[in-house]
Structure 1
């Protein structure tokens, strides 16, 4: 039998640990919402923080050469004078058919605006049945349907209006010359408990809103930060200069918002520079102020009789407050348990140089598992299913298809300075004239433990907990091609494996 032409071996993004992996591992960057320590800007930069909330939204900004001077955007357009100088604006919008008419404080009191639409970025199966049927949620759906717009478009309209107002405010503060030569870096907040598809919808809305429109000063960059982390950084900034703060102190921060309540816990690693790490996986739930409003509305509609009013009011608050108390208890209990458990990993060393006034989150806890689908040598006696067995011409051997390599699992530490790396390769025929860059899919899974195979009896868990339309992609270029000769050996009997 004639030997086949030599095959050329080159690294690719199939996550395989193998002796045949001949190059240095290519970096697989875990998808991040926002970098802890962004690279030094090449030009003057205006950093804009946009808190898009369920009931109220706000904007703050700072100039890169004066990062500690953080300014709030106010002077909102308003029907009432006493609203214009507030730090936040209502997350509400009024439509005339499909066209936006008013937003924020400018909506007349006798109109019915579209509110709470942020919650509609979630699918019904990610909200409890009770919440799906809340009158506020039902009214929002009905008003949204009347506009003829989908929820992503409505979010884009609102973000566009708040962005235009923010840039006008920044222009007045800095002047046209400095604004024109400065790039924008925009950071938008996200609820920590949101699944990946909801984050992708919010990112799409931000792209549609005009925030990333081209400017002569350079590209506008977009980042995201979990809402509890943003709240924590603001709180820690106030704590940083207190003499009572010392290393190994732990704090729990509760961010009780309009739609969600998020909790996050940090342990202080050092005070100068001020470095913290997330010590347990954050928690949260849909138990924000809008659901308290719903309970109060139910009380007004349904409660009658001679019972003392105080008891009635307590029953209104109890369901929501009990959920918040449970979240706080779970978080503090997790910290105590974590102190006595096996260490999840080595403590990441601090960076050599920090801005003394900055707050650095050194380590975070993975909320989900991340991995890639790959092919490896078939070994039925060990772990592989016969249904996954395929003959691979490039390897001249039986291989197992649709295997999952979870290079980051839920609960693992994520260092902001040490990215996750995996060795892998891919084989190509020598007669291929041109090799294109590789684009590989990174899957996100909320099931724990994540399934071993992509198309196994664990497929149901994969379908329940991941959205194949929301995939993070990593592109790599080829370098340092390595060669070895593969002989044609014929197809062996797979039963001998």
Structure 2
């Protein structure tokens, strides 16, 4: 087999994250290796310092709301409360005449702010946002209304932020992606030149969380298009992108066909696990081994636990005093950037957390401006999060071994993937004979593995992952002839067109949870329709999903139901040749035209697409409306 690389195009990967975002790129004709992919490291407001990512923060300097007479200018910082991942919640009853929490990010030691970007009037983003400016954070999370949020993020708080800004979540994401895309393009122009950019095709690959709903993925894609990102934007799940980068970075002579690798992608909010089996080495081709998993046990939870720890030591009243100052920001930044990354559970090193200006409190371990944390105390902060990650990994390893799969390594990527503690705990957990894993690997560029993997996927031009495991059941509801020996009376209903009783809202599941789904062959859903003579030939069908391990025989709606409608599919059958239609009528003299057709569902890493087929011939795309 030979690679099917794109010819003469510039591939750009965009990793829009909950707390940080990144951009990487490569020129396809240069046939770059994984370590030759360029990452944008210079950002507005960074004062010349380089960083592989930029905060996913936005501030609108001319909000639609007006401050009350008691709050001229910037809002007061009275009642400020810091939360996980370097953020604070500002609780100020003087804002809009009531108490309402607002997110702020702890400052990094760099000058602020920069002028608003001219691309989105009145908006600043990333490092250009000042430390005390009211900002919108974590807006990405609201694109998936059904996704569980981390415990430190409150949905009503985020929604209040949107009301204050007069924006929807999708509008804020669009504004941020607009700024991110145009800045990245400016950096790329500096390297390649405007003439090159004008004559070279650009391909974009956008990453999305594996646990996201298809509706949220569709909203992200819409926002990217509204942001002006051109062309046919591809999407890839974050753990799959990380796996592609990591496995392509490994020397081919260290890989064998049949090897299985578990990839753990640790972000701020979630930890996603996915496993792949190597099916071909050059070019690299993979198959998802078992169904992936994930949970809200990311690195930002450590910040939340650290806050609770400090509060327990110095008391609620004292903590309320320091959280309003830069003293707490300094402590939280040190914990974020040094303690979390370097804590080693096998080392007795003490950590001295700087708390400048805080008086000595020997009982709380604070002396000379530092809070001293023992290794055991830090370990207790890590323990419940590490424990949950170990449980997820154990389930994944067990499933692989039950299928007699050879597990060659666990690969840790993402920001949390750089943790020394996580590495040591995984090594120790899977050293026992019954769970023995030969290697635990941490790539050198773990934080950018996702965005670089997106670029590699775009460079490849064809699917690297040949098949994936379904994370839920997919099917359609239909009506069939009523059988009193099979169907409950409650589902019986008379069909006046076909003049017979039918069992209503029965389910046929075309895809079952855990089933292998080909990346190249569509899954076909078969339907038939009776159209009244002369009526518009527009068919609307609904795709139903179920997240339970065992799917039910019938469809039901409501909060306690295990089934739900994923999307509505609208197909125009007017272009189908007349020869495929069958005419019929009933005893009432009503005439109908009947047709059988199929909807083809294409499963991709970060999205699904549909087309219309009759007798194996495609008659165009299907309009999808997610519920």
TM-score interval, smaller chain: 0.7 to 0.9
Q: 5+ residue gaps in structure 1?
A: 1-37, 213-219, 341-354, 491-497
State the SS of the aligned residue for 1:50.
Answer: strand
Deviation at 1:49, TM superposition (A): 1.4
SS at match of 2:297: coil
SS in 1 for 2:37: strand
| Structure 1 residues 194-232: Cα deviation after superposition (integer angstroms, max 9, x where no partner) | 2334334333432432325xxxxxxx1122211100111
Please report the TM-score for the alignment, with normalisation by the length of structure 2: 0.60
- Which position in structure 2 is the counterpart of 1:76? 43
1:323 positional shift: 1.7
Does the C-alpha gap of structure 1 residues 44 and 223 become closer, same or farther in structure 2, counting only changes over 3 Å?
A: same
SS at match of 2:173: helix
Matched, 1:328 2:295: no
Sort the Cα spacing of 1:371 and 1:46 in 2 relative to 1 into closer, same or farther, 3 A: farther
**CA separation in 2, counterparts of 1:77 and 1:306?**
40
Query: Helix, strand or coil: the match of 1:453?
Result: coil
Question: 1:472/1:165 Cα in 2 relative to 1: closer, same or farther (>3 Å)?
Answer: farther
Aligned equivalents of 1:356, 1:179: Cα separation in 2: 20
Map 1:202-351 onto structure 2 (within 5 A): 202-212=220-230, 220-239=231-250, 241-304=251-314, 305=363, 309-310=373-374, 311-339=376-404
Q: How does 1:30-69 map to 2 (within 5 A)?
A: 45-66=9-30, 68=32
248-257 or 179-188: bigger deviation: 179-188
**Superposed CA offset, 1:77-98 (max 9, x none):** 124222xx32211111222215
How far does residue 188 in structure 1 lie from its aligned partner after superposition? 1.6
Measured in 1, the distance between the counterparts of 2:461 and 2:218 equals 32
1:374–1:417: structure 2 CA closer, same or farther, 3 Å change rule? same
Residues 463 and 519 in structure 2, CA contact (< 8 A), matched pair in contact too: no
The answer to whether the aligner puts 1:86 opposite 2:51 as a matched pair is: yes
* SS, match of residue 253 in structure 2: coil
Residue 111 (str. 1) matches residue 133 (str. 2): yes
The DSSP-based 3-state class of the residue aligned with 2:403 is helix
Whether the aligned pair in 2 keeps the contact of 1:451 and 1:461 (CA below 8 Å) is: no
1:140 CA drift (Å)? 5.2
Q: CA deviation at 1:122?
A: 4.3
SS of residue paired to 1:189: strand
CA contact (8 A) 1:93 1:107 kept: yes
Deviation at 1:269, TM superposition (A): 1.6
Unaligned runs of at least 5 residues, structure 2: 65-120, 315-362, 366-371, 406-458, 590-627
The Cα of 1:251 is off from its aligned counterpart by: 0.7
Give the Cα–Cα distance (whole angstroms) in 2 for the partners of residues 277 and 396 of structure 1.
48
CA–CA separation in structure 1 for the residues paired with 2:276 and 2:147: 31
Which residue, out of 445, 459, 474, partners 1:370?
A: 474
Structure-2 change in CA distance of 1:151 and 1:255 (3 Å):
same
CA shift at 1:164, angstroms?
A: 1.0
Paired residue for 2:170? 152
1:445 Cα shift?
2.8
**TM-score w.r.t. length of structure 1:** 0.74
For the Cα contact (< 8 Å) 2:470–2:513, is it kept in 1? yes
Compute the RMSD of aligned alpha carbons: 3.4
1:408, distance to aligned residue in structure 2 (A): 0.9
The equivalent of 1:389 in structure 2 is 493
**Matching residue of 1:215:** none
